[in-house]
Amino acid sequence: MAGSSESKLGTMPVGRLLTVMSVPMMISMFIQALYNVVDSMFVAQISENALTAVSLAFPVQNIMNAIGVGTGVGVNALVSRSLGRGDSATAEKAANVQLTLAVIWWLIAAALGIPLARLFFATQTDIAEIVDYGTVYMSICCGASLGLFASQHMEKLLVSTGNSRVSMIAQGSGAVVNIAFDPLLIFGLGPFPALGVPGAAVATVLGQFTAAGLAFFFNVRCNTATHFRVRKMGLNLRIIRDIYTVGLPSALTVGLNSVMSYCMNAILLGVSTTATAVFGIWIKAQSFGYMPVFGMNNGTIAIYSYNYGAKLYDRVRATLRLAAVTGVLITAAVALLYELIPEPIMHLFNASDNMMDIGVTAMRTMALSLPMGGLCVICSSSLQSLGKPGQAFFAQTCRQLIFQVPAAYILCTLGGLRAFWFAPLIAETLAMIMALVLAVRRVRSL
């Protein structure tokens, strides 16, 4: 039988449930985005080349994050749906298989990331300092990525079993550790060595392992629906298929951001490395705006999946309506903030006069895309949870790749750098319309 923590997914009033499930995750994702921004802020104090190197490393970090998120989301949906059907055996098997998957993905990331790091940066720039900084940063992040995969998997297991509050504590604690160790290891404060760019990577890894350790502890102590058993950690093809049926679109969606970033960086490197650094700042600022929405999605996926499995379709529709309104309001508020104070934001990254001139225009232009992107993300997550993962992936592919990269190339070619910054607005608007139509059609068919 499902315990009380997960059965509330089918009984608690939707408004209260969305608050209980999503607010802790929104806070933790907000903190997650904050430490991503703080990481770049400290690195920017070293030099603009250091900031550019970390910005160019983002696609690789994001691919690893995509795999972790996709697996975690798939487990979240499978566990919630299984508990909704009363199938606790499948839920527990999925919870255990994901631990083995975390180890496998870590080994793959280390085996590929470390030897290929220098080549990755050398294909993007011939500036030796950027290549050197990026190589060591990426090697550390890939080689010690077990914490990243394990934390993503186990935090979402907590959410799927109704324990979103302690998931927030685990993720938030990891972020605090990262923020605390960034200045200590980058600049060598107190007894700590001055490691520079490698120090930023080490701080990131320490934060990830902290989050993973706490998430494991909370699963053992608070998760009454599933239990870790060594004999159940063997790979099961049916479970893996069910995990990635839902999780693969999430992984590909997050991974598409890496492809998009790589392509956009390639366009901008033809203009200037400063413009590339500015776009790297925007990626962090954009994630800051979207992370609360992603946090809410972590809660809504469990709600959608449980109630879809239990055939409580009115609760599914009510969840989508409330999430859409909330998500648009959140992203609109962040967009307004970026419109009002772009200069202080750029100062946080030690911006030169040239970077400031480029960055203020870029920030104000691209911020307009946030509400449309937020609604697109929310609609896509509903499709993903309600048996239409292919449609969710298609909408996200259009949003991040099919619409955005060609628009950026055409705008930059015809109108220069100032025109380039309108590409996200065009892509997000078109993709939002598509995702909204698909999501509304799906929930009406239930």
Q: What's the token pair of residue 86?
A: 């009363």
60, two tokens: 């690789």
User: Quick check: 1 pLDDT over 60?
Assistant: no
**What angle, 0 to 180 degrees and rounded to 10, lies between the N-to-C axes of helices 353-366 and 273-309?**
30
Tell me what pLDDT residue 3 has.
Answer: 46
Unique residue bearing structure tokens 């098997």: 93
Cβ–Cβ under 8 Å, residues 1 and 226: no
| Biggest alpha carbon–alpha carbon distance for the chain | 63
d(CA 25, CA 392) in angstroms, rounded, equals: 21
Q: Which residue has the higher pLDDT, 14 or 334?
A: 334
Instruction: Write the single-letter amino acid at 190.
Output: G
Q: Which helix (H) or strand (E) element contains residue 282? A: helix 273-309
Residues 133-163: tens digit of each pLDDT: 999 999 999 999 999 999 988 888 887 777 8
Nearest to 205 by CA among 161, 149, 262: 149
Query: What confidence score (pLDDT) does residue 6 get?
Result: 52
| Element spanning 305, H or E | helix 273-309
Question: 70 or 199: which carries more pLDDT confidence?
Answer: 199
Kindly tell me if the per-residue pLDDT of 316 is higher than 50. yes
Rounded CA-CA distance 83/305 in Å is 9
**Which of 98, 96, 99 minimizes the C-alpha distance to 231?**
96
pLDDT per position as a tens digit, 361-397: 999 999 999 999 999 999 998 998 888 888 988 998 8
**How confident is the model at residue 332, as a pLDDT?**
96
For residues 387 and 69, give the distance between their C-alpha atoms in angstroms, rounded to a whole number.
18
Do the Cβ atoms of 259 and 37 come closer than 8 Å?
no
Distances (CA, A) of 146 to 109, 140, 221, 250, 323: 9, 11, 22, 20, 32
Residue 42 in contact with residue 182, Cβ under 8 Å? Answer: yes
Q: Contact at 8 Å (CB) between 87 and 130?
A: no
31 within 8 A of 175, measured Cβ to Cβ: yes
CB atoms under 10 Å from CB of 398, counted, come to 18
Helix/strand number for the chain, H first, E second: 17, 0
pLDDT tens digits, one per residue of 166-193: 888 888 899 889 989 999 999 999 899 9
Does 290 or 132 have the greater pLDDT score? 132
